Amino acid sequence: MILSLIICTHNPNLERLHHAVKSVTEQNPKDYHVELLIVDNASDISLASNQFSYLGFEIKYLIEPNLGLTNARICGIINSIGDYLVFVDDDNVLDRFYLKNTIDIIEQYPGLGCFGAGVINPIYEIEPAAELLPFLNSLAVRKESSFIISDDYFDFAYPYGAGMIVKRDVALEYVADVRSSDLKLSLDRKGKILNSCGDDHFSWIAIRMGYKKGVFPQLVLKHYIPANRVQKEYLLKLAEGYGFSRSLLFYINGVPFPGLDSIKSNEINKTDVSTIRLKLYLIKRSIKKLLTIQRFSIHEEFENAHNNGVLRFYRDVYLKQVKIKD
């Protein structure tokens, strides 16, 4: 069996990238072959192809000039040879037995098309504020006590992209699928755009092909998280991006996205209000804001950010697509 480990990186912190690469080279491949691919995704300064040569491990360096995690993953997939592909972020450190445990899971559960780490331990540059702890899952932090196997599109038992393992035929189908639509190509990070759910799309495709997805606590890795990512402003942007992206994930898979009926109703009500009444309402609302301080709990702030993402998808994508079809 061949495992292809793919590290996609854009303007990486070289020290963290070093730790990620080293954690791959320190695995103990006895009964399987490992290839390592590093995909430089439009970095400002190209990575030197020999900078990790001292590790004594053959590395295939690739350059993907089109910015975006989806483009980088496609580049890695089509240039790999593995029976299974393991995606490693450039700020991850795999547990020493990650690949051994991966092989054990593959042999025990051959019906898995996509699975991943059940334990992702954060290494914070600075400790996050206590009030933000409930919202850190968006940073790919995880601690499952038991394994989960599912073929349910709509649960939350999805493997995260950090350490995700994908069967080759699922990965190739993913490439064909996302290349068929500009919308699907936009389903993930792209520079400073915090779209997500590209990881989940692998699972949707796996289930559609008759496989299952899974999360396993024996798959363990560390995830380095810089200081700026544990600020409330950044986490709120992630929440907004997730609201947008999850709506897009449902839409591109032909499923009505959550909240669609409610948004349609609200938007129709807004258009039914006369111009004068709408102006009066906006004036009153502005005065009220000046006279009172509107306070939200932090849970309401994150819920509002998520809902704003859903609304952005409805206005910027859904309505335009409906017009095109009409």
Average pLDDT, integer, range 5-20: 94
pLDDT at 281: 55
pTM of the model: 0.89
Q: Per residue in 130-177, pLDDT tens?
A: 999 999 989 999 999 999 999 999 998 899 999 999 999 999 999 999
Is a pLDDT exceeding 80 seen at residue 49?
A: no
Domain boundaries, the chain: 2-230
Which among 17, 21, 67 has a CA at the least distance from the CA of 42? Answer: 67
Asked which of 44-48, 168-172, 219-223, 284-288 is least confident by mean pLDDT, the reply is 284-288
For 2-230, CATH gives: 3.90.550.10
Ranges of H-type helices in the chain = 14-25, 69-78, 98-108, 168-178, 182-185, 198-208, 232-252, 260-272, 275-291, 298-313, 319-325
Asked which of 153-167, 229-243, 260-274 is least confident by mean pLDDT, the reply is 260-274
Which among 96, 148, 90, 95 has a CA at the least distance from the CA of 121? Answer: 95
**176 HSE (CA, 13 A, CB side):** 7
Residue 128 DSSP label: P
Which among 100, 137, 119 has a CA at the least distance from the CA of 221? Answer: 119
